[in-house]
Structure formats: structure tokens, C-alpha cells
Chains A and B, each alone.
Chain A
């Protein structure tokens, strides 16, 4: 089974390489292929953050423009992560300007939970967001796969608790508990690593 999964990933990578080549050839088919393959995922991220289909759709379109502008010269090793990252960044940026009443309580709570792990004012002065991102990755690698995926689904993709519970076959209570303990452990880890002042 693992071999099959590996094969499937390899095929995906080959597809991605082809899509990246299309970008390098400045072929607009690249955007169509990206949309066909990752459009649904991008829309889901954008909608989770923005809670509005129109705003989400605009963000996804902006994502494709961003990818088009970035490739070339960038040649991403991992197209899916590359596209997700752009969508997430654009959506979070747009969220900053969305009227309060249009924001989803879910995403506000998620952001609040993240902020409580390491409040802005507690970042050590010489630490940048990318450094902390690397530390979070390091921390997550020490966690069980399911814990890791639940954390990322919640705070990277901003899935709702209900969606995460359904995805992994857990109860909502279990998901909340997992997230709670992971945040707590992450906070301890970041303190230990000297990120928090």
C-alpha cells in the first residue's frame, strides 16, 4: 500500500513538474492546470479565512496571478505547498481589511488561539516569522502524525473543528483537546527555544 501511495505521489510530482514547465513556457494553460488540480483546495483555504465566496474567489484569482508572476524565476520544489502558501497569505492580508461583521468567528478564534501561543509583543527581537515557522515544523515533527495533521488543518488551512473531526474520524471534543494540548506543548517548546521574551 505504501508503495502504491509513493507511486501516486510520484505521478503527482510529474504532473506538477509539467505544470511548472508550462509556467516557464509562459503558457496560460499553466493556470488552467493549476486551477484544475489545486483550485478546490485554494478556494477552501480562502473561504475558511474570508467566510465569503466572492472574496475567496478573488483571492484564488490573485493567487494564480501571484504564481504566474513568481514562476519563473522561482521553480518551486513543491507546487501544492507553494500555491497554498500564496492563497493563505493573500487571504489573511485581505481579512485584515474585511469588515468585522463579515469575518468568521471560527477564523477569529483560530487567530486568537495562535496569538495566545506566542503573543506578538513576546517575540524575541532577533527572531523573524520564518525562524519561528522552522521551529514550529521541528516541533510538529516530534508529534504524532495525526496530531500534526490536525494542527496544520486547523491553523494553516483554517478548517473548522467539525470538518477536522469528520476528516480524521474523531469526535469534535477530541479535536479540541488535541489542539489545546498541542498549543500548550508548542508554547512550552517555543519558550524553551528562547523565542519568547
Chain B
């Protein structure tokens, strides 16, 4: 067996790239039995951060605004009352200075703690526990738990997620077949006698490849010993051009968060709680009001950023592969 030249070429990759890949750290799987609650807490925190970004793009991780004993000196107080942009459910935004997060500071991963039975970000904790803020209104973003049973376009979020997994596996199988279909079309002859141009596979490799690509896919694109490459390429192109299942899943999650934010805002309105829905639900409450506030399905609370000061965070989302 001769080593392909491409494999030798890869052997000439620059040293620094090899070093970086060699030293790329393994992500250790925690020993759940040993780590117990510590590991569980870590998972929860990671989930909280992700969901927070997803829902609001607005939890503040920066230093809270500082009140100097005079409301007029509150950071951002003169531009606090937001315009009624977005999906306002409530017009009841109080005409008073409001403490917001600082959008101009560097965004970092937030820490969390418990305050009065609620999970909150550390920056919100700083604001809530500062005596100077006792009588100020605070803009607090509410992040909700995701309900995987929420139905969007006839499917639950769990079902959308399963479709993403299946679609990724499927396109991967098609892609693999595109590369080796011209050999696989010979079927078992590939390991028994070899192809007319002298290629021969190990039986194990053949069996594993057939299993991985799937007999359903193979029978669709290899018919009577002929590899239907054009059809396969067209199908892959059509798949890539179409709306991906990942988009549908993302839309479903987004739809759920919009739904739960609007529904909760309506309930809060009935209880005369100042709130509005922007990218997510924001409540405007004092420290005492927040202490008494109970919101169903809320996962955690954060210091909200005034959206007028925030760029379109959706633009920062990672592009799919």
C-alpha cells in the first residue's frame, strides 16, 4: 500500500500549527460520581450563560452604575426611559431614572449567585445590595427555562433538535458518498476482486463504510452498478440551498422565548408590574419590588442593557459550518 502524496503533504504542515494542535487541551469529562453537585452546578451555569445570551443578549457583566447620592448622576439616567421600540406589551415604563447595565464595558462571562431565593447575575447582585440604589428602579432582564415541549410549526423543540441531528448525519453521509461513490458502485467486488483500475479495499473498511453511509442512501444513488453522481450533487446542493433544520430549530427556540416573554409580560401587567418585551422580558422594579416578584419559569435574572445602546447581537452569532 502506497501512502497517498496528500498524506505526505500534510506531513509538511508548518511546525507552529502542529504544535498548536498537539497542545490543544482535552476537555476532561468530569467524574460525575466524584464531583457530584460541583459538576452539576457547572453545567447549570453554562446553560444559564447560553440561555441568557440567547434570550436577551443583555445580561450585564460589567460594573454596575454608581449612584452618587443624586439621582441625576446615575449613569445613563437621562437616557433611560426607552422608546417603545420592539414588541412592547406594556407601555407602563415609569418616567424615572432607571439603573441599566453598562453596554460600553467589555462583555465577560457572568457569574451567578442566589439572592432572596432567585438566581441572579453578580452584577445585578452588586446593584441590589448597594444601599444607594434602594429606591431606584432597576432594569432587570428575565431569562426563562426552555420548554422543549413547546410546539412550533407542528413540532416540539425536542423534535426540531432531533431533526438537526439527523440532518447533519444525513448530509455527512451524502458528502462521504460523493467522494467514494465511484468506488462503492462496484459493491462487494471492491474488496473481493478490486476495481478495474486496480483499487481494492479491506472488507472491514468496506463493511464499515456501507454501514456508515447506509444502505438506504447507497440504493438511492447507486443503481444497477451505476453511481448517480449528478443526482447526488443536485440533492446536496438542494439541501444546502434550502432552509436547514438548524434554522428551524433556532426559530423554534426564538419563538418560544418570544412567546413566554409576551405571555409573562401580560400577566405582570395585570399585577401592575412595570415591564416591556424587547429582545427579552425586562421588568422595571425597585429592590423591594424585585424581592417580592415571582415569575413562573424564570431561570435567572440579570441587569438589562438599554437596547438603544446595544448593537445587534444577532450579528455576532457564529456562522454555521
Contacts and interface: CB of A to CB of B under 8 A. Distances in A.
Given A109-B205, A114-B6, A129-B8, A176 B26 contact: no
B208 interface: yes
Interface residues on A, range: 35 or more
Given A85-B11, A136-B10, A140-B17, A80 B22 contact: yes
In terms of DSSP, what is the predominant structure of the interface of chain B? helix
Contacts of B11: 85, 88-89, 92, 129, 133, 156
Contacts of A145: 20
A112 interface: yes
Contacts of A119: 4, 6
B3 A130 contact: no
A174 B19 CA distance: 23
Contacts of A134: 12, 14
Interface stretch (B34-42, B121-129, B163-171, B296-304): B163-171
A114 B6 CA distance: 6
B196 to A, nearest CB: 15
Nearest to B174: A180
A156 B175 contact: no
Contacts of A73: none
Contact of B18 (A81, A108, A123, A177): A81
A189 interface: no
Interface of B: 1-27, 29, 165, 168-169, 171-172, 175-176, 179-180, 201-202, 204-205, 208-209, 321
What are the 9 A-B residue pairs with the smallest beta carbon separation, nearest first? A133-B12, A81-B15, A152-B21, A132-B9, A115-B4, A78-B15, A137-B14, A114-B6, A169-B27
